[in-house]
Every structure is written in structure tokens, then in C-alpha cells.
Amino acid sequence: MQIGPYTIDPPLVLAPMAGVTDKPFRQLCKRLGAGLAVSEMTASDPQLWGTRKSRLRMDHAGEPAPVSVQIAGYDPAMMAAAARYNVDHGAQLIDINMGCPAKKVCKVDAGSALLRDEALVGAILDAVVRAVDVPVTLKIRTGYTRARRNGVAIARLAESAGIAALAVHGRTREDLYEGAAEYDTIAAIKAAVRIPVAANGDITTPQKAREVLARTGADALLIGRGAQGRPWIFREIAHFLATGTLLPEPSPSEVGRILLGHLEALYAFYGEQHGVRIARKHLGWYAKDRPENAAFRAVVNGVVTAEEQRRMTRVYFDGLAAPMSRAA
């Protein structure tokens, strides 16, 4: 997939997820095969840019190009200013959030709430594209409600405004994350525009990735929740799409090594105290569907030091690896 001067290869993108796609996770997913990793959404309100949370979200030092930063808001002028600010601080792509279904975002008429007002959508897109000299991308849903899936109309507005690429989640705002994603609207969007389109929603296996590409004709895939606790999903999908064969599942020993490296990156980025807290949700995702995962989560969630968190992680994954070593 081509976005301006940038070739996204493989065409597999880590979706922006608030509280998840921080710099340590983006860098990890890139190392494990993602062609692009989009930041957590950053606020368009300049009063928030000086907060510790915003400063961390805008820290892109050491990230491989292209650096993609998502902005969220509802006011065209503020969104344009946010785009300029982030480009001045290292962004090489600006992504506009019109896909988030969270209540706290939609109640201020941002995120997927914008899909109700096509005139405002057009004004925001025009303002942001004119404000910066880097490619601007857009993330949307298929519509605000099931009764009004206006994704095709929004996509045409995006193309007319000069949006460089479009990502579409196969649910409406009304759906939140319930039920199954639908791909017919994404296929209709792809057929209606000439800009690259990435399909998103329920992509959790290499086989599902191939199915979604076939059903939508999309140029790329955007993977969010499927990467939580499985950041190697990108290399698995890339290998399957290229060869038609599945990579073996990573062993518990390899998962343990990946996780311990992720923990170290979190401690370094956030500091030990905050890093330990942030790590808890990731530990739960990595352990999901593994033996004794509930007991592991119950104990590790009470840990308050990095040393103890490391130790318990090693013990748990070494314990999972031991039966496999004896069998070999």
C-alpha cells in the first residue's frame, strides 16, 4: 500500500487504540512484522498538549519511519492546529479519528459521532489536509447507525478532500464492538474510491486476514484487538499471505522472551511505578487462553515492583515451557 511517498510493506497496520498502542507496543509490533503502527489518539485541544499523558503520546523518538499520529476532535480549526503541532513534533503521517465509538469521545461530538454530520466531516478533512504538507489518512466506521451506513459518502468526501488513505472498521458506531464485523460496506467503499483502503474488524488469524482481503478487495488490513497479547500476528499474517502456509505458534519460551522485552520497554518509557501498572493489562492479554492464566493474573496484578513482575513472568512462562522441553 502506498501512502504518499511511503510504501507500507507488508500492508498490515497496527490500529490506533487508546491506552494500548503506546510507543513500546508500536515498536514491538513493527519489529514483529507490522508495516505501519499508528499512535494512540491525541487530543486536538491545545490545553491538553502539555499534560504528561499527551507528552508521552507525542514522543516518537527512535521510531522507524513513517511516524503516524492520530488526532481526535470536532473543530476544524483546532484539528488543523493539532495536525501542524504534531508534524512539528515528528509526525510524518496524520491520521484523523472518525472511528472511535467510546461514549466519552462521542459525547463531545468527536470520533465516530462525526459520521452524523457529513458537512462537518468535509470541513475537518479540508482544514487538516490544507494545514500540513504530509499525507493525511482517515479512520472511519461504516456509519453511525445500522439504518444509515453512509461510509461510501464519507469515503467520497475523503477522496475529494485529498485524504491519502482510508481505514474502515466493519461496524457502525451503534454496534460498538458487538456482533460480527460486516465487510460488504467496506467492499462498496473500496469500489467507490481510488485511494487506498484498509479493512478493519475481527481480524484475529491469518486465515481471517486472507478472507477479509478477498471479500473487500482492500489494499491493506488494519489490526487492533487481534494484536493484543499477540504482537507476532503481523508476521504470521504476512507469511501466510505470501506462502499460503502457517508459521508454527511461538513457543512459551519465545512468548516469555517477547513479553519480558515488552516489560523492559514499558519500564523505560513510563518509569517503574507507572510501567508496572501499564504492564498488567498486557500480561493478562499474553496469558489469555494459556494454562493457569487466571491464577497468574490474580497474583501478578498485585505486584508493585518491576523486579517482582519480571520474576513472576519468568516463572510462569518457564513453567509453561518445561513440559514441552521434557516432551522434546
232 contacts: CB under 8 Å, gap ≥ 6: 32, 33, 250, 258
Task: Read off the pLDDT of residues 212-264 as tens digits, 9 standing for 90 and up.
Answer: 999 999 999 999 999 999 999 999 999 999 999 999 999 999 999 999 999 99
Residues 226/209, Cβ–Cβ less than 8 Å: no
Query: What is the chain's length?
Result: 328
Residues noted as catalytic: 100
On the 0-12 / 13-18 / 19+ scale of CB atoms within 10 A, 51 is exposed
Alpha-carbon torsion 226, 227, 229, 234, what sign? positive
6-7 vs 136-141, strand pairing mode: unpaired
Residue ranges, comma separated, of all CATH 3.20.20.70 domains in the chain are 2-243
Residue ranges, comma separated, of all CATH 1.10.1200 domains in the chain are 252-327
Give the whole-angstrom CA distance, residue 114 versus residue 140: 9
| Cell numbers given for 64 | 522507524
Give the whole-angstrom CA distance, residue 20 versus residue 9: 22
308 contacts: CB under 8 Å, gap ≥ 6: none
How confident is the model at residue 325, as a pLDDT?
A: 53
Task: Read off the pLDDT of residues 62-116 as tens digits, 9 standing for 90 and up.
Answer: 899 999 999 999 999 999 999 999 999 999 999 999 999 999 999 999 999 999 9
Give the whole-angstrom CA distance, residue 117 versus residue 137: 19
Q: Which residue has 491520521 as its cell numbers?
A: 95
Mean pLDDT within 122-139: 98
What is the topology classification, in CATH, of domain 252-327?
A: 1.10.1200
| Cell numbers given for 123 | 470541513
Residues 21/269, Cβ–Cβ less than 8 Å: no
Task: Read off the pLDDT of residues 271-316 as tens digits, 9 standing for 90 and up.
Answer: 999 999 999 999 999 999 899 999 999 999 999 999 999 999 999 9
Task: Read off the pLDDT of residues 3-50 as tens digits, 9 standing for 90 and up.
Answer: 999 999 999 999 999 999 999 999 999 999 999 999 998 888 877 787
The DSSP symbol for 196 reads -
Other Cβ atoms closer than 10 A to 289:
7
Overall CATH class of domain 2-243: alpha beta
At residue 200, φ and ψ (nearest 5 deg) are -140, 145
How confident is the model at residue 327, as a pLDDT?
A: 52
Assign 54 a pLDDT band (cuts: 50, 70, 90): confident
Give the whole-angstrom CA distance, residue 93 versus residue 116: 25
